[in-house]
Amino acid sequence: MWTVPLILGLLAGVLTSYTDIKTGFIFDNHAFPTLTLIGKLLSWEEDGGEVDLPKWIDKIIIPTAEGGILYYAYLGLKGGNTLLALSGVIGLVVGFILGIMFYYLGAWASGDVVVLAAFSALLPFAPKTASVIPPYGRALPLYSLAILFNSILAVFPFILVYALAVLAIRGKFHELGDVFTGGLKITAEFWIWLIGILGIQEAIATTGFSNSATLWVLGLVLLLVFSKFKAIGNAVGILSLAYLVYSNPVTAFNVSWRMFVVLYTFKVLISTVKYLRTEVLMEEVPVERLQEWDILGETIHELNGEILRDREGAFGRFKRAIAKLDTSILKPKRGRVIASPTAEGLAKEQIEELRKLVEEGKLENSFLRKKAMPFAPALFIGFLMAYFWGDVFWWLVLRVAGFS
């Protein structure tokens, strides 16, 4: 029976990867046809423009998300398992939430969000074919996390080498150093907080309590508390480290340094993605080089009769909002938006208005334009790894803990 998600995943993965690589465009009906139908009813536009694809490609319908929802609804109703029956829908929603986070950070296009959501509906739980199964894929329909982690980690070496090479060629040596040294303080704090959580969970486990789901929820709550009250988190972490070293020094040492290596690796990944988004996959071009469907890397708007441009991305605003505890930063004041970084790209009318503003001297003739990087193939690889092997991130966690 597990061949149903595999077949749908293969069909959707091949088609979305092909169109994404070939044109940078993903058709909703290759992953979530219902979204296409809703778009037509609401007069949304899904048009790949003049793309170099056979005309029949965009006519193919693959009910990937719908198939996953119906598949698990059937299994759940047949076995009297409500959670299993709803798992396809839950997986779809979780996939959308994860994808939208990356979309608003500027790392993904809307099509990537749809692909992750569809794959998440196919694999809300870990399949029987997987051998490395995380707790969030066994007891809860959150296996979409494994698909996401696999996708990112699968392409990380290539992204890292490509980003570092481009930064070096462009002479961005400060940014190059920041990839490896920036954010070390927060990485160390996060490491000590996790050790604190492990110490508390270990202490609870010694009482005979063994509900893993509850311990995971407790861990997430403690992480939120420690991030808010850093001094408390640091103190608890240091005490827990001392307790773990006293209880079993060899295991404590092995777990601690491996955990730090994993966290540092993720720090390098996040820094790489940041510069990939702002330096590597972004270029400044004059208005004459802007074309229809190009995606801007900035927002140009008119406020109180003045033409303004905002080049700060969602990731930068999010960091400032967290640092200042001011949610209003997430929604900057803007007037009439002339052009912005939307997944649909620039329309001809927008380019003409930008050209007119440049000619009138109201705008400098230099615009940030995003370079496309297809991510659908990485999501497809992540799906296949999740189906046949399991969760790479959880495997790393087990390695850190010395269990694999």
Give yes or no for a contact between 355 and 287, defined as CB atoms under 8 angstroms apart: yes
- Decide if 166 is inside a domain: no
Q: Same domain, yes or no, for 338 and 390? A: no
Domain C-terminal end among 246, 280, 314: 280
- At residue 106, the pLDDT reads 64
Residues 382 and 318 placed together within one structural domain of the fold: no
Boundaries of domain holding 318: 282-370
Tokens of 171: 């002479």
Residue 14, domain member (yes or no): yes
pLDDT in tens, 105-150: 666 778 899 999 999 999 999 999 999 999 889 888 999 999 999 9
193 in a structural domain: yes
Domain match, 153 and 17 both: yes
Please choose, from the candidates 398, 381, 394, the residue with its C-alpha nearest in 3D space to the C-alpha of residue 115: 381
> Is the residue at 60 inside a domain?
yes
Number of Cα atoms under 13 Å in the Cβ half of residue 326: 8
Is residue 155 very low, low, confident or very high in pLDDT (cuts 50, 70, 90)?
confident
3-class DSSP state of 383? helix
- What does the pLDDT look like over 309-338, one tens digit per residue? 988 776 677 767 776 767 777 788 888 999
Contact (CB, 8 A) for 65 and 31: yes
Q: Answer for the pair 368, 297: CB distance below 8 angstroms, yes or no.
A: yes
Same domain as 287, residue 274? no
Strands (E) located in 36-161? none
Which tops the pLDDT comparison, 63 or 107?
63
* 74 within domain boundaries: yes
Token pair for residue 231? 């001094």
Instruction: Of 6, 21, 11, give the one whose Cα is nearest residue 375.
Output: 21
Is the predicted pLDDT of residue 301 greater than 90, yes or no? yes
> How does pLDDT run across 19-48, given as a tens digit for each residue?
998 887 889 999 999 988 887 777 665 544
Which residues have a Cβ under 8 Å from the Cβ of 115 and sit 6 or more positions away? 12, 16, 26, 31, 99, 376, 379, 380
Taking only the tens place, the pLDDT of each residue in 234-245 is 999 999 999 888
Specify the pLDDT at position 216. Answer: 79
Provide the domain count of the chain.
3
Q: For residue 265, what pLDDT is reported?
A: 86
- 13 and 153 fall within a common domain: yes
* Torsional sign, CA 304, 310, 314, 315: negative
181 with 264, same domain? Answer: yes
Tell me, yes or no, whether 71 lies in a domain: yes
Q: Which residues pair with 370 in a beta bridge?
A: 282
Cβ neighbors of 15 (< 8 A, separation 6 or more) are 27, 30, 57, 60, 62
- Residue 256 CA to chain centroid, in angstroms? 27
Pair (249, 121) in one structural domain: no
Q: Answer whether residue 308 is part of any domain.
A: yes
Write the DSSP symbol of residue 392: H
**Could you say which of 280, 296, 315 is where a domain stops?**
280
In this structure, the answer to whether residues 121 and 207 fall within a common structural domain is no
246 and 387 in one domain? no
Q: How many CB atoms lie within 10 A of CB 330?
A: 13
Average pLDDT over residues 48-75: 85
Alpha-carbon dihedral of residues 258, 260, 266, 272, nearest 10 degrees?
A: -120
**pLDDT given for residue 319 in this prediction:** 67
Residues 94 and 202 grouped into a single domain: no
Read off the pTM.
0.73
- 165 occurs within a structural domain: no
Q: Which of 280, 298, 323 is the last residue of a domain?
A: 280
Question: 318 and 256 share a domain?
Answer: no
| Among 146, 212, 223, residue whose Cα is nearest residue 384 | 146
Same structural domain for residues 141 and 36? Answer: yes
